[in-house]
Amino acid sequence: MIQFDEQKQIFHLKNNSFSYVIEIARGKYLLHRYWGKALREYRDAAALPAIDRAFSPQPAAYENERTFSLDVLPQEYSGYGHGDFRIPAYKIALADGTEVTEFLYRSHRIFKGKPPLKGLPASYASGQEAMSLEIELADAHAGLKLYLLYTVFEKSAVLVRSARIINESGSAVCLRQLASLSLDFGSHEFERISLYGGHASERMIERSPLHRGIEIIASSRGASSHQHSPFLALVEPAANEAVGDVYGFSLVYSGNFSMETEVEQFGTTRVCVGINPQGFSWLLEPGEDFQSPEAVMVYSAEGLNGMSQTYHAFYREHLLRGKYQNALRPILVNNWEATYFDFDEEKIDAIAKTAAELGMELLVLDDGWFGKRNDDNSSLGDWIVDQKKLPQGLTALGEKVHAHGLQFGLWFEPEMVSVDSELYRKHPEWALQVPGYKTSFGRHQLVLDLSRQDVCDYIVDAVVKVLESAPIDYVKWDMNRHMTEVGSTLLSAKRQGETAHRYMLGLYDVLERITQKFPDILFESCSGGGGRFDAGMLYYMPQTWTSDNTDAICRLKIQYGTSLVFPPITMGAHVSVTPNHQVGRLTPMQTRAFAAMGGDFGYELDICQLTDAEKTAVKKHIKLYKRLRPTLQLGTFRRLLSPFNGGETAWMFTHPDKSQVVVFYFKELAQPAPSVRVLKLAGLDKDARYKVAEYYEPERLSHDFGGEKASGITGLEFYGDELMFSGLAVEHVDADFISYMWVLEKQI
Ligand code: DGJ
């Protein structure tokens, strides 16, 4: 609900979980007054102190009020050039070359529902589920209007924000920055949590003190990136997974972003989130507008798990779309780590046949099916089947795969072009490029210029043609290099700085057209694994290949970090061969399977080479996963033990109707003097009895595969309070890389 107190000039945005308060000071300045636990009413008990701060200037109209300075007041959307020296939320160069502007409150409207954002992915809601506030600000001198949009959802501790600017003046201006949000916290008693990484090592958790000065996480790679995720949390120092105040920021955008914090002289903290100003500028001609991406802000009083559960539910209910939004995802087998580029129809058919025997549901044909692509040197852009590898074409292959009772999926990398391709020979001007400089390569490929309409149309046509030509049920949409020499052959000199964002708008348009045309196809996004695992891509494609690293032990960290923001149903997770192709590690089959069950479960190895014992284990794991799938994919996910704090990981899933609970525990290395591990479960009904319906003790590398063994605990019943407060003991086993699973059934 959104209230406006006319007399106090205060907006109170609230639901049962949080309150967010904005004040209009002096009829024109927007001040941030509160964000946190829900308040019944905001009466300003924490009134702003009036202190004369030296070197903090007064706006011209308040020359004699030395306690009034924009430098000191908590701003709701920070300005530039009028005495607030902290980081600005926007920067605009006017026609006369100056960069000082001043947006003051003009009006507002409060309405039901949530409008879409032009050209951008964004959360959605019905009129019953959400209320929005749009605040209009204006710079009368510059002839510019700024609209800040806020939406409160009735059942979620989420506030979404974005900003839009319109040029109503008679001359062009140049937008250098337009943040999706900025706000000021009254203190800096926080720690920061961000997700850093690299290829094959995405979304590692970093928790550090919040330092004085400016700290930034950002991407300028043309993708949200493996290196930093568009996510930041500020948490009270005592906060952990279960308790404490947590403020989360996630951006619904897949390109260059920045998330900045500034702790300033008086100890307050500014947060500013949006498109990365580095490498961005946008010419706004008279009458034109610019829309920022959307930021999703979560307040949790229940620690990091509370924040993650809010993000998970919100993204599942208000961001994912289409047939697969709430549908169970198929168990797939992908041929990439099985064959790489070296396959033919016979091999794929053999994999499909084995996959069907083992109980898998979808065969994905990865890179190498088109052009003459026998390695990564050529053919991107030429989306025409390679008759040498697949003489009967994709249609026949798809039909064969279907005849085995499997769905058929296909890999594409539509945003790229190989120099050795028909497409590049015909259209060298379609690659991103800057005159006078040779274009850098990444994986021997160039990036197509999706800021161009003709390029976008080509991609849509090429992909649609293939999808219409064969029985395809699933698409993996890959993107395997970052952008360099970012310039467009079509844009005017003044608009070159728009290329990277126009690329994203082009990509979003392409994705919208293709996914809407094929509503029955399951789309999975990918960028060398999880290099573009962000809320923007999830709006179009409801799952993402989490990482090219398929090692189960590395995956525990990657999936744990990813789960801070994204639900398991969005994370592709596959069992691969040992020794693992990325790190060479040997891990038991059960551990590989249990780790992959933490996401959308699948296989990525040559299943034709499995021994009989391995096949038995795989069949068993698939059967088990199918049985538990509703809980694992649609249930509530909770982290219990962090792999970042030592060699142990535990997490649990609770069925949406709370009838079933599945708990996983993983241990990396055996210890000579091991501690006793007790898992304190969470989110149970404390008065209900839970029966240990199934228990899977660890499989050692040297053991037979598969081993569910009867244990003393199977069949026993415990009350929820005991399982949560006293805990469930983990039987000690001396072995490396082991895993356990308990399935608990709530007794009625
Ligand atoms: C990178 C992806 O992450 C892999 O899974 C695979 O599809 C390769 N690209 C294929 O080139």
What would the pLDDT profile of 536-568 be if each residue is shown by its tens digit? 999 999 999 999 999 999 999 999 999 999 999
pLDDT over 70 at 55, yes or no: yes
CA distances from 226 to 146, 199, 215, 412, 432 (A): 33, 6, 19, 20, 21
pLDDT at 748: 87
pLDDT at 190: 98
| CA dihedral of residues 534, 536, 538, 539 (deg, nearest 10) | 160
CA-CA distance, 310 to 298, in Å (whole number)?
7
The burial of 294, by beta-carbon neighbours within 10 Å (0-12 exposed, 13-18 middle, 19 or more buried), is given as buried
Q: What is the best residue among 199, 475, 480, 532 to mutate for testing ligand 1's pocket, by most ligand atoms within 8 Å of CB?
A: 480
DSSP 177-220: EEEEEEEEES----EEEEEEEETTEEEEEEEEEPPSEEEEEEE-
How far, in Å, from the CA of 442 to the mean position of ligand 1?
A: 14
How far, in Å, from the CA of 671 to the mean position of ligand 1?
A: 36
pLDDT over 60 at 147, yes or no: yes
Measured by CA distance, the residue closest to atom 11 of ligand 1 is 367
pLDDT at 709: 54
Atom of ligand 1 nearest to the CA of 411: 7
CB-based burial, 242-251: b 16+ in 10 Å, e otherwise: bbbbbbbbbb
Q: What is the best residue among 545, 546, 550 to mutate for testing ligand 1's pocket, by most ligand atoms within 8 Å of CB?
A: 545
Atom of ligand 1 nearest to the CA of 545: 3
How far, in Å, from the CA of 523 to the mean position of ligand 1?
A: 15
| Rama region for 621: left / alpha / beta (φ>0; ψ in -120 to 50; rest) | alpha
How far, in Å, from the CA of 639 to the mean position of ligand 1?
A: 29
pLDDT at 702: 62
pLDDT at 335: 98
CA-CA distance, 548 to 659, in Å (whole number)?
34
pLDDT at 146: 98
pLDDT at 700: 82
Measured by CA distance, the residue closest to atom 2 of ligand 1 is 528
pLDDT at 730: 94
pLDDT over 90 at 704, yes or no: no
Average pLDDT, the chain: 97
pLDDT at 701: 77
Do residues 696 and 631 make contact, with C-beta atoms less than 8 angstroms apart?
Answer: no
Measured by CA distance, the residue closest to atom 10 of ligand 1 is 367
What would the pLDDT profile of 291-309 be if each residue is shown by its tens digit? 999 999 999 999 999 999 9
Please tell me what DSSP assigns to residue 724: I
Q: What is the mean pLDDT of the segment spanning 58-74?
A: 96
Atom of ligand 1 nearest to the CA of 334: 5
- Active-site annotation, residues: 478, 548
pLDDT at 705: 44
Q: pTM for this structure?
A: 0.98
**Count of Cβ atoms closer than 10 Å to residue 494 Cβ:** 13
Residue 10: φ, ψ to 5°:
-125, 130
How far, in Å, from the CA of 570 to the mean position of ligand 1?
A: 17
Atom of ligand 1 nearest to the CA of 376: 11
CA-CA distance, 463 to 355, in Å (whole number)?
26
pLDDT at 711: 66
How far, in Å, from the CA of 547 to the mean position of ligand 1?
A: 9
Measured by CA distance, the residue closest to atom 1 of ligand 1 is 528
How far, in Å, from the CA of 436 to the mean position of ligand 1?
A: 32
Atom of ligand 1 nearest to the CA of 548: 3
Ligand 1 interacting residues, C-beta cut-off 6 A: 336, 366-367, 411, 478, 480, 526, 528-529, 545, 548
What would the pLDDT profile of 442-476 be if each residue is shown by its tens digit? 999 999 999 999 999 999 999 999 999 999 999 99
pLDDT at 532: 98
pLDDT over 50 at 707, yes or no: no
Q: What is the mean pLDDT of the segment spanning 21-49?
A: 96
Q: What is the best residue among 375, 416, 548 to mutate for testing ligand 1's pocket, by most ligand atoms within 8 Å of CB?
A: 548
What would the pLDDT profile of 618-652 be if each residue is shown by its tens digit? 999 999 999 999 999 999 999 999 999 999 999 99
pLDDT at 708: 47
Q: What is the mean pLDDT of the segment spanning 142-171?
A: 98
pLDDT over 70 at 224, yes or no: yes
Closest Cα to residue 632, out of 653, 650, 649? Answer: 653
Atom of ligand 1 nearest to the CA of 526: 3
Q: What is the best residue among 339, 340, 478, 479 to mutate for testing ligand 1's pocket, by most ligand atoms within 8 Å of CB?
A: 478
With a pLDDT cut of 70, the percent of the chain lying above it is 99
What would the pLDDT profile of 590-623 be if each residue is shown by its tens digit? 999 999 999 999 999 999 999 999 999 999 999 9
Expressed in angstroms, the distance from the first to the final Cα of the chain is: 37
- Could you identify the residue written with the tokens 């879409």? 116
Atom of ligand 1 nearest to the CA of 527: 3
Q: What is the mean pLDDT of the segment spanning 64-74?
A: 96
How far, in Å, from the CA of 572 to the mean position of ligand 1?
A: 13
